[in-house]
Amino acid sequence: MVTEDIDLDVTDGVATITLDRPEKMNALSPAINRGIGEALERIDERDDARCVVVQGRGDAFCAGGDIAGMADRDDEATRGHERAAEITEAASAVALGLHECDLPTVARVDGYCFGAGLGVALANDVVLASDDAMFSLAFRNVGLTLDYGTSYFVTKAVGPATAKEIALTGERFSAERAAEMGLINHAYPAEEFDERAEEFVRRVADGPTVALGYTLRNIDRADGRTLEEAIEAEAEAQVLAAGTRDHEEGIAAFLESREPEFEGR
């Protein structure tokens, strides 16, 4: 347990961060925000973690912000620079922390994934969902605007036209539709979800961790680069990847006609 609402487990190279507030559908409390940031720091200090999985306990991945907690706030605390700084700090610890993690990150979404919870999911490199999952940019339903990076992640994933549509309506939509619009990677049948998600995560965790990290960051930054800049960044990353034990193992496995056994970082 990292905080009262966050559990961290590292097994066989997979670091699993579990949002553990099922009675509130894992709504983003200060303890959850703080706990995700602290969990990522702990993972970064370990040499046995090769992939990060983020999931929720119970009937939701994350139902978004803690609306009940917002209702309890003093009016003055909900306005002005103090509140803006609070939101920025929380969102940075979670969305920015996941998005800039050196390890591949996978969101495992089962149940509700609403509002800021969708930002938490999309901050990961890959989003896998059960076809029982439901998604929504629900901010408009409580008179709020997008936060936790959702304006960035959703627009990058589906384009501005679709992003505006789902933000303006606040509609709930299925995992199947989310996959069709390119918001998530896969919507697996509920009865197959655990097995299919585990297979995917295992494939990632068994990969060349350092090389995959460079690959993901270059993909993330591709939109802001010219082709020349992208080629230069790739060359720099390739030199670093070529100096790893995983590259040596990959070459040996190729020459010996076997599957490589990468060590990770």
Using alpha carbons, select from 161, 165, 98 the residue that is nearest to residue 127: 98
pLDDT at 84: 67
Q: How many CB atoms lie within 10 A of CB 125?
A: 24
Q: What is the pLDDT of residues 157-198, one digit of tens each?
A: 999 999 999 999 999 999 999 999 999 999 999 999 999 999
Using alpha carbons, select from 152, 52, 43 the residue that is nearest to residue 92: 152
DSSP 130: E
What are the helix (H) ranges across the chain?
30-44, 67-71, 80-91, 97-99, 116-122, 150-158, 160-169, 175-180, 193-205, 209-220, 227-242, 245-255
- Please work out, in degrees rounded to the nearest 5, the angle formed at the alpha carbon of residue 111 by the alpha carbons of 152 and 1: 85
Q: How many CB atoms lie within 10 A of CB 212?
A: 22
pLDDT at 29: 87
Q: How many CB atoms lie within 10 A of CB 129?
A: 30
Cα–Cα distance for residue pair 49/43, rounded to 1 Å: 7
Residues of the chain below pLDDT 50: none
Starting at the edge strand that comes first in sequence, how are the strands of the sheet with 60-62 ordered?
A: 60-62, 112-114, 134-136, 173-174
Phi/psi class of residue 170: alpha, beta or left (left: φ > 0; alpha: ψ in -120 to 50)? left
pLDDT at 89: 79
